[in-house]
Chains A and B, each alone.
Chain A
Amino acid sequence: MIEAREVCLKYADGTEALKNVNVKIENGDIVYVTGPSGSGKTSLLKLFMGIEYPTSGSLTVLGQPISKGQTSGINKLRRTIGPVFQQFRLIKGRTALENVMLGMRFLDFNKDEIMENSKASLKNVGLEDKISSLVENLSWGECQRVAIARALARKPALILADEPTGNLDRDNAVRILHLLTGLKDKKTTVIITTHATHLIDGKKGDMLIHIDKGSICYERLE
């Protein structure tokens, strides 16, 4: 569960990224975060990952308080998260498979599970024929799918996907969103930020968070 109470985030340069955020996300929820560019979507995910700390208010992610002095706990929390970064953060000079495996090497998987999960995840995102390709030789869309495969292979309790369909064509975008929202059955919480509101195929109970200039409003789909 993620619970934010009166959370504010102000960057060192004075930019107020988030204002008085109050939200409660249950385990297994599918959450779409929408809003214009620069509205604070990525900042919200950064808070959930413990990359930024709330300037005021309290935030708990999967039972872990997000605040300064919680480095060790936050590091452990990150092992239960499957992050999809806007800039992918893939390791150059390594193949797609190596990148996916790298995200699992320090988790509680054995050698065979690492290999099987990684290959299965790459297959799920439609990259089974690119497993041996170096990531610098892949297109942006393919890199994005490798990043998604890396997040999925970790079998995380929480997926934080920042614009996961931003570089994909419509068919692949639909496929990826379907793949991510399908994790609801496995009680995985999925939080997706997106511009592409037209692609959202929300189901009953899914949460829709809209951010504008750091303020949020949310609703549960009926």
Chain B
Amino acid sequence: MKGWNKSDMKKTIYNMGYFLNETKTIIKTDLLSNIFSLLCMVLIFFILSLIIAVWRISMYEVKVIEKDAQISVYYDLNLDNNSQAQLVENIKSISGVNEVYMVGKDEAYKRMQEILGDDAQVLEFFDNNPFSPFLEVTIKLDNMNPILESLNKLEGVDFVRDNRQVLSHIKSIVNMISLLGFLFITAAGISTVVIISHIIGMGIQSNIEQVNTLKLLGAPKNFIAFPFLLEGLLLTISGGLISSAFGSLTLSYIYSKMSGPIPFLPLPPIGKLISNLIILLICISAVLGTAGSIFGLSSSREKV
């Protein structure tokens, strides 16, 4: 839209009714192709919405886990109560430690029973409680290394178990999802641009007489191209809207199914997740629609 001024803008606004009518006519001329293009858009954006949702949920998981990062400190069992209390105070004074909670032998046993669920009967094979008491330390994840160093220096500490491996596993899964998401967004972007530019090329071909007449009447390129640009935008934004509706329904269904069997899995609030997803999909579809239309128009620049 090179060299646009206020007057051009005004003309575009009062010609909007004409442009929309033209777009309707262009779509009607190649109705079947436009319907199939719309279906392609819906499918592409639907898969994209699911990938984005999975990625956002994974990011949320990591954040939650990082926020509540816990390490277990096992101490010398010969320590008396006073020494244990002193150890707790010493740990609390380490920078980056949020909370210290003492888990006794019985609680450790109960926790394992809860984790094992139906398989908890395996614990009955032990004559005595096999678990040791420990200190559950909630820390800021960024400070994990200096905290571990400080803990290992403390008197009475036998060994420290951190969850670094679990976290790094989850992080690598998220990274993989991000990479897959990025690859899919790229593929979806290219496919959308190709489909839209192709449908615009067909639209121009079907309306070539009208395009030529407008050229002979001296119509500016922007004026001739605008209805085709609207066609591309209409297809992608409609595709984005329909797919976000399907995506929302699918996510609601998945949430309802997940809340039963795995209630401990922290999930982001569904309302916020869906509203963000809809906004993101509409923005992506608008950008891809514009890009596809411009690409289609520049491919047919000799005709327009």
Of all chain B residues, the one with the shortest Cβ separation from A77 is B218
> Are B210 and A83 neighbours in the complex by a CB distance under 8 Å?
no
Q: Contact flags (1/0) for B203-244 with A, using CB distance below 8 Å? A: 000000110111111111001000000000000000000000
Of all chain A residues, the one with the shortest Cβ separation from B17 is A111
> Are A91 and B210 neighbours in the complex by a CB distance under 8 Å?
yes
> Are A105 and B223 neighbours in the complex by a CB distance under 8 Å?
yes
* Complexed CA–CA distance, A89 and B215 (Å): 11
Residue B7 is within 8 A (CB to CB) of chain A in the complex: yes
Q: Contact flags (1/0) for A87-107 with B, using CB distance below 8 Å? A: 001110100000000110110
Number of residues on chain B facing chain A (CB within 8 A): 18
Of all chain B residues, the one with the shortest Cβ separation from A82 is B217
A78 proximity list for chain B (CB < 8 A): 215-218
Residue A32 is within 8 A (CB to CB) of chain B in the complex: no
B14 proximity list for chain A (CB < 8 A): 110-111
Residue in contact with B213 in the complex, picked from A75, A80, A91, A110, CB distance below 8 Å: A91
> Are B11 and A83 neighbours in the complex by a CB distance under 8 Å?
no
Shortest Cβ gap from A6 to chain B (Å): 26
> Are A79 and B218 neighbours in the complex by a CB distance under 8 Å?
yes
* Complexed CA–CA distance, A199 and B217 (Å): 28
B212 proximity list for chain A (CB < 8 A): 89
Of all chain A residues, the one with the shortest Cβ separation from B218 is A78
Instruction: Report the tally of A-B residue pairs with Cβ distances under 8 A.
Output: 45
Residue in contact with A106 in the complex, picked from B25, B216, B223, CB distance below 8 Å: B223
> Are A106 and B210 neighbours in the complex by a CB distance under 8 Å?
no
A125 proximity list for chain B (CB < 8 A): none
Number of residues on chain A facing chain B (CB within 8 A): 22
> Are B213 and A51 neighbours in the complex by a CB distance under 8 Å?
no
> Are B219 and A106 neighbours in the complex by a CB distance under 8 Å?
yes
Shortest Cβ gap from A74 to chain B (Å): 9
Shortest Cβ gap from B256 to chain A (Å): 49
- Interface hits, A91-139 → B, CB 8 Å: 91, 93, 102-103, 105-106, 108, 110-111
Of all chain B residues, the one with the shortest Cβ separation from A79 is B218
> Are A89 and B218 neighbours in the complex by a CB distance under 8 Å?
no
B276 proximity list for chain A (CB < 8 A): none
Residues of B within 8 A of A (CB): 7, 11, 14-15, 18, 25, 209-210, 212-220, 223
The 6 A-B residue pairs with the shortest CB-CB distance in the complex, in nearest-first order: A78-B218, A79-B218, A89-B213, A106-B223, A111-B14, A106-B219
- Interface pairs (17), CB distance under 8 Å: A49-B216, A75-B215, A77-B218, A78-B216, A78-B217, A79-B217, A83-B216, A91-B210, A91-B213, A93-B25, A105-B11, A105-B15, A106-B11, A106-B15, A106-B218, A106-B220, A106-B223
With A83-B216, A102-B18 given, can you name 20 additional A-B contacts, CB distance below 8 Å? Answer: A49-B216, A51-B216, A75-B215, A77-B218, A78-B216, A78-B217, A78-B218, A79-B218, A80-B218, A83-B217, A85-B216, A89-B209, A89-B212, A89-B216, A91-B209, A102-B214, A103-B217, A106-B219, A108-B7, A111-B14
